[in-house]
Each structure stands twice: as C-alpha cells, then as structure tokens.
Amino acid sequence: MSKAFASQADLADKKITFEQLSPHCWAYTAEGDPNSGVIIGEKYIMVSDATATPAMARDLIQQIRKVSDKPIKYVLLTHYHAVRVLGASAYADEGATEIIASRGTYELIVERGAEDMQSEMERFPRLFRGADSVPGLTWPTLVIGDGKPGRQGSLEVDLGGVKVQIWHPGAGHTRGDTIAWVEEEKVLFSGDLVEYEAGVYTGDAQLEEWPATLEALRALKAEYIVPGRGEAMKGNADVNKALDYTQRWVTTLFQAGKEAVAANMDLKAAMAHTRKSMDPVFGHVFIYEHCLPFDVSRAYDEAKGIKNPRIWTAERDKEMWSALQA
C-alpha cells in the first residue's frame, strides 16, 4: 500500500509558540512546521522567513503586534523554497520596504521558483490553505553578496538598538542559504541550514558542502538558535545539539547514497539501503516519511556527480513518490 503523498495526510493544526529569546529576538515555532524569527528594534522590525502564505504571515504579524507597534521594515528570505517566502506580500501593509536575499537565492528563484511553488503547494496542502491569496513569486528588493560564501558580501542592518548581520555562510540546504546573526545577543536565525528533531529536507541540497557550513555556524558560538524546523534552542550546548543532529542526518544520508552508487544499486534499492541507517535514528521525527524519498533521490544524484540539483516539478514529485514509497 502506498503512503499518502508527501504531507497530504498531515492536516492537523500545530500549536504555535511565540517566545522571546533575548532582549530583541523572538522565535515563532510550530511543532515541526517551518519556523520564523523576529528581531524587534527601537525603530524597525525584521522577520526572518516570511511563511507560506499571506494568511499565515498575518498570524505571525498578529503575534508581533502583541509586543511591538514598530514597522516591519525588513523581511529576510533565508532561501528560495515556497513554504518560506510566499507569505511576503502580507508585510507590505506593515511597512516592509526591503525583502533581502542572497545572490544564490535570487538565481534559484529565477531558475526554478515557479516550479518549486507548484510543487510545494501540492506537497503541503495544510500549509498552503488560502494559496489563492499568494500574488505570485516573491522577489527580493535587496540582493546581497556575489554567491561566494563568507562575510565579505555581508549586510549589517541597524533596527535601532540592535544590529543584525546577514550573509551567506556556505551551501547546504540550498546553494543560496542565508543567515541572520545578532552578535551582541548571540542569537542565530539559521533557516533550514539547521533543524532539530524534524525531517531535514535535502531535495535541493549541496550535501558534500553542508557539513563545513554547519561548522562555520558552530564557530559563532551562538547561545540561541531558531532552526528551520523544531524548537528554538537555548544555551550553547543545546545549539550544538541541533547542529550535531543536522550534521548526522546529512552525513548518514550522503554516505548511504555513495554506498548505493558504488554498488550499482538503482534508486529503489538505494532507498531500501538508506533506510537501514536512517530509520533507526530518525524514523520517529516529524515529516521523516515526507522528506526521505526526496532526500534519497538527491543523495543518489549527488553521489553520481550531479552537482546542481535537478528541478523538482509536481510531475517529477509524483513519479518519484510512486517509485519509492510504494
């Protein structure tokens, strides 16, 4: 019997938590659903990850308005995935004048944004309730960096009383991943570069490079992290637990992919081989069964030398799912 496609069977609402981590930083989390971060200054507010739809963004805005009436001037796109960016239009009425993304994220929107939007809407029907309110692709108004990793292409934003550093630390979840770092308060907003106790989606990843990017984040010695999915982590020891969790997922997955290719397995055999090492460790976490087929497909491709991830379309999604999740 085939499993329900992606997250189509996941229709139960999640409990939303909006919690303060430091004097200016907040986490918006939802039991394994995509997280957002909020940084509230004396003049302006920044939101990291815009949510999937304007309706969902308005819920986040409502939470923000319980603690601040300052304009939400900046929205950061940590990467290009639709579930993170398509709610951006809701912030225009709140004063948003800048939508920030890295050069790599901008290029990925150009290259595959339309296909990703259609694909993700079909994968996540609950998250895309009210999708008819999405006006189209979200385009950055401010593109930072030149696509190369490191702080040389960084942007510093002063929100009034708090400064936010934004840069592309290296490839991982995508080739354009961007972080927000509030150094004075040691708070890191990582996007999907880091997850905790939730599925790590790697369908568009650079698996070989991801561990080094995680080590670059570890070197910041953050005391708080808002990961892409999972609870906000407090204290450097727990921040490292999230980094270790993500690194273990990525390295276990990619090693299984390399072993499958070396043994001349086909993709379905690679899936069975990967499950032997992944299921015992990660099989219990939220969206594991959703992520794994996409992850195995990407690990298999990258192990075969396909550096630039193949574009996921709604049609390719379902063909792959039928082949691997029967």
Per-residue pLDDT, 31: 84
Does residue 11 fall inside a structural domain?
A: no
Per-residue pLDDT, 1: 40
Burial of 99 (0-12, 13-18, 19+ CB in 10 A): buried
Residue 97, SS3 per DSSP = coil
- Please state the rounded mean pLDDT for residues 151-171: 96
The structure tokens listed for 315 are: 């049609």
Q: Is the pLDDT of residue 257 over 90?
A: yes
Query: What range does the domain containing 155 cover?
Result: 17-250
Does residue 39 fall inside a structural domain?
A: yes
CA distances from 310 to 103, 126, 299 (A): 19, 26, 12
Does residue 7 fall inside a structural domain?
A: no
The overall average pLDDT reported for the chain is: 95
- Report which of 137, 126, 130, 285 is spatially closest to residue 198, judged by C-alpha positions: 285
Does residue 285 fall inside a structural domain?
A: no
Higher pLDDT, 1 or 165: 165
Question: Per-residue b/e over 286-298, b at no fewer than 16 CB within 10 Å?
Answer: bbbbbbbbbbbbb
Band of residue 15 on the pLDDT scale cut at 50, 70, 90? confident
The structure tokens listed for 309 are: 């991830």
Sheet holding 142-144, edge to edge: 17-20, 25-30, 33-40, 45-48, 72-76, 98-102, 142-144
Q: Phi, psi at residue 231, to the nearest 5°?
A: -70, 155
- Please state the rounded mean pLDDT for residues 24-35: 94
Q: Is the pLDDT of residue 232 over 70?
A: yes
Per-residue pLDDT, 2: 59
Q: Do residues 37 and 226 touch, judged by C-beta distance below 8 A?
A: yes
- Report which of 223, 226, 282 is spatially closest to residue 250, judged by C-alpha positions: 282
Does residue 101 fall inside a structural domain?
A: yes
Does residue 51 fall inside a structural domain?
A: yes
Per-residue pLDDT, 326: 61
Does residue 189 fall inside a structural domain?
A: yes
CATH code, domain carrying 47: 3.60.15.10
Number of domains in the chain: 1
Q: Which residues pair with 127 in a beta bridge?
A: none
Q: Is the pLDDT of residue 46 over 90?
A: yes
State the CB neighbour count (10 A cutoff) for residue 55. Answer: 17
Q: pTM of this prediction?
A: 0.96
Q: Is the pLDDT of residue 128 over 50?
A: yes
Q: Do residues 74 and 44 touch, judged by C-beta distance below 8 A?
A: yes
- Please state the rounded mean pLDDT for residues 45-65: 96
Does residue 288 fall inside a structural domain?
A: no
- Please state the rounded mean pLDDT for residues 168-178: 98
Q: Is the pLDDT of residue 153 over 80?
A: yes
Cα–Cα distance measured from residue 150 to residue 169, given in angstroms and rounded to the nearest whole number: 5
Per-residue pLDDT, 310: 98
Band of residue 32 on the pLDDT scale cut at 50, 70, 90? confident
Q: What is the DSSP letter of 176?
A: S
